[in-house]
Structure 1
Amino acid sequence: MRVSGAPLLIEEFVCPAQDGFPLTAQIAGDAEAPALLLLQGQANSHRWWDGLREAFECSFRTVTMDYRGTGRSRGEVGPWTTTSFAVDAAAVLDRLGVDAAVVYGASMGGRVAQMFAANHPDRVTALVLACTSPGGIHAIERSQDIRRALARASSAERLQLLHDLFYTADWPRPPQESALLGDPSMSRQEAAAHLRASDQHDAWDVLPSIAAPTLILHGQDDRMTPVDNAALLAERIPDARLQVCPRGRHGFFEEFSSHVTPAVLGFLASQVAR
């Protein structure tokens, strides 16, 4: 096991997807520990988990991947979906010889995690969904004002707007230091493909089939993905637990990590120990 506070050593490797697309993935932690698959938000690489994954290293072997169109996973842009991203995640676990993992997905990563858990039920031992949505006609969408503001903003304005949507005014770090606000190396075509994948997600009909013990987390003041979506997920996924973070916005799991991460670790420990 990695000693708490020791430098985190991340091993990176290339994993061909089912269609041959070169996916880049990362692992860290004890190879003998249970695998924890971390799935980040839309238009983000594995860097989303910088500063967060370390807290899990004493208990789990963390597994991340750069989604197609992010980080080092680059190739032809296609009709990507949350289901296809889940298939890519399965390919990464196959490459590592991991039969089953605990899965923690945030934002669009939560959408991908839903499809992974529904389509690969034997491969998920526990599931954590943060600041995410079931998608489709039942989802509670962000306001049109926010959509228009994001669409019309310049690059600098968009970065500041995203920062305000992710963090409260008490968060001390500037937008340029956040790992959650998008991969700046993405092309417009890649970013648009990610947006379509997230917007077209609809897991409503398959959510009741999720058999893994599930913890649903959300920020009370999330305007990117309104908190009412958490209740919808909790109602659809059998026996799911729901925790809402007071004052939390879309990046609540980072801003309030001193409370949120122990809650996740406690939930996962209770399930892995079974």
Structure 2
Amino acid sequence: MAQSTVNGVRLHHETVGSGPPLLLVSGLGASSAAWAGVVPVLAQRHTVTTLDNRGTGRSDVPPGPYAIDDLGDDVAALVDRLGAGPTAVVGWSMGGSITQSLLVRHPGVVSRAVLLNAFPSYTRLQDAWLDAGLALRRAGVDPVTTGIDSMPWVYTPRLLTDHDAALAAAELARKDPYPTTLAGFEAQAAGLRVYDSRPHLPRVTTPTLVLVGAEDVLTPVAQSAEIAALVPTARLQVLPRGGHGMVLEYPDDTLAAITAFLDEAPGAAS
């Protein structure tokens, strides 16, 4: 465990494993703990770094809003501080937006990129989903209840029809020793909802896998297809099973796709 100050913000980060460098970037309101279930697997073949984006976990929560480019600049500065670049990067959901910013603004930092359940810009429905989540948090609703309300957007019926398992997954929020504050969530949300990568994606030259589950209703396949069509070096891969949380619900299939891409020889991505 370590902390580094970049761009005036103290970021918590951890590095484990051995092999080629790999950076995992979390989504909206999520700390590096979101990757806890898959880090041990990835660390068998990679030197894996996770971080708490500003506003989450053990990182600072400076006044918002946080532009996605600011979060991307944080990541680029951290990679430089650690001497870990160029590194492969996997960005999940909002982490995919941060990774798109890295690809555009800091291409030398990224050797290969995986955009996992990502999107180029918010739709009106995603805005409404975000408004609902903000309303619950601002009302002080219990985090487990808030999580249950969002579950149909994240998981597939495979989990949701098992009520005991779904409730157990939601209860994990109560055990989080470093929960995201309302201020941190609001600051990330404010930057996320106005981010639009589309004008800049044609400039990307880094090998990129755009990976999504066919059952993702929060960031549907059409949004991943839009990214892949705009990035000259991108490949779209749609897994037949899995929603927005497929790295949690279908970790074996998701990690198999990610590691196969990361293991490809240079020049084999496009």
**Bucket of the pairwise TM-score, normalised by the shorter protein:** 0.7 to 0.9
Corresponding position: 1:162 with 2:150? yes
- CA distance in 2 between counterparts of 1:231 and 1:105 reads 16
Contact 2:156 2:215 in 1 (8 A): no
Which AA in structure 2 matches 1:219? Answer: G
Q: How does 1:16-55 map to 2 (within 5 A)?
A: 16-18=5-7, 20-30=8-18, 33-55=19-41
Contact 2:114 2:211 in 1 (8 A): yes
- CA distance in 1 between counterparts of 2:117 and 2:225 reads 11
CA shift in 2, pair 1:242/1:254, >3 Å: same
Which AA in structure 1 matches 2:5? Answer: P
CA shift in 2, pair 1:71/1:108, >3 Å: same
Per the alignment, residue 98 of structure 2 pairs with: 112
CA shift in 2, pair 1:146/1:183, >3 Å: farther
Contact 1:220 1:249 in 2 (8 A): yes
Per the alignment, residue 217 of structure 2 pairs with: 223
Question: CA offsets per residue over residues 34-78 of structure 1, 9 Å max, x none?
Answer: 110110101111001011122111211011111111111124223
| TM-score (normalised: structure 1) | 0.85
Which AA in structure 2 matches 1:85? Answer: L
Greater alpha carbon shift after TM alignment, 34-43 vs 74-83: 74-83
Aligned residues: 255
CA shift, 1:141, in A, is 4.7
Of 159, 170, 176, which residue of structure 2 is paired with 1:176?
A: 170
CA shift, 1:89, in A, is 0.8
CA shift in 2, pair 1:183/1:125, >3 Å: farther
Structure with greater proportional helix content: 2
- CA distance in 2 between counterparts of 1:178 and 1:237 reads 37
Question: CA offsets per residue over residues 189-219 of structure 1, 9 Å max, x none?
Answer: 2211011121121111111111111111112
- CA distance in 2 between counterparts of 1:55 and 1:196 reads 33
Per the alignment, residue 3 of structure 2 pairs with: 14
Per the alignment, residue 150 of structure 1 pairs with: 133
Question: CA offsets per residue over residues 146-169 of structure 1, 9 Å max, x none?
Answer: 456535544343210222221123
- CA distance in 1 between counterparts of 2:93 and 2:172 reads 15
Per the alignment, residue 7 of structure 1 pairs with: none
CA shift in 2, pair 1:147/1:83, >3 Å: closer
- CA distance in 1 between counterparts of 2:178 and 2:44 reads 31
Of 255, 265, 273, which residue of structure 1 is paired with 2:259?
A: 265
Contact 1:44 1:183 in 2 (8 A): no
Identity %: 30
CA shift, 1:177, in A, is 5.2
| TM-score (normalised: structure 2) | 0.86
Greater alpha carbon shift after TM alignment, 199-208 vs 149-158: 149-158
Of 208, 214, 217, which residue of structure 1 is paired with 2:208?
A: 214
Q: 2:157 is paired with a residue of what secondary structure? A: coil
Q: 2:125 is paired with a residue of what secondary structure? A: coil
Contact 1:213 1:239 in 2 (8 A): yes
- CA distance in 2 between counterparts of 1:115 and 1:79 reads 16
Unaligned 5+ residue runs, structure 1?
Answer: 1-11
- CA distance in 2 between counterparts of 1:143 and 1:65 reads 25
Corresponding position: 1:69 with 2:44? no
Question: CA offsets per residue over residues 8-31 of structure 1, 9 Å max, x none?
Answer: xxxx1111112x21111111112x
Q: How does 1:84-123 map to 2 (within 5 A)?
A: 84-123=70-109
CA shift, 1:145, in A, is 6.3
Greater alpha carbon shift after TM alignment, 109-118 vs 262-271: 262-271
Q: How does 1:235-274 map to 2 (within 5 A)?
A: 235-271=229-265
CA shift, 1:143, in A, is 5.7
- CA distance in 2 between counterparts of 1:273 and 1:57 reads 24
CA shift in 2, pair 1:106/1:55, >3 Å: same
Contact 1:45 1:71 in 2 (8 A): yes
Contact 2:127 2:193 in 1 (8 A): no
